[in-house]
Amino acid sequence: MWLIIVSLTAAIVAALWYIREDIPKLSYLGLILWGTTIMIFVDHIMGYLSEGGEFIEMTPDATLLGIVLVITAIILWEIILLLEDPKGKIKVLLRKN
């Protein structure tokens, strides 16, 4: 289930990146999510080939893991936004103090 959740989120972010230009540094979030999707996909393939069983886990733990991965990707994206300050709002805020 975590593969499905992260893949769906990556596809939505890619569509938003293509349509909207006003969201700063959205390409970073897309790269984080697509990299995670590829990593999970390879993990599922290797696990399926070595151990067999089901390819997609449909358990509450797998769903929670997918949600945690998406939240972690968004947190990383927010850290990038804070460090790079693409609109210069943090610099203006610091100058006022």
pLDDT in tens, 51-89: 988 888 899 999 999 999 999 999 999 999 888 877 777
> pTM for this structure?
0.85
Cα(56)–Cα(36) distance, integer angstroms: 16
* pLDDT beyond 80 at 25: yes
State whether residue 40 is helix, strand or coil.
helix
Rg (CA), the chain: 17
Structure confidence at residue 97 as a pLDDT band (50, 70, 90):
low
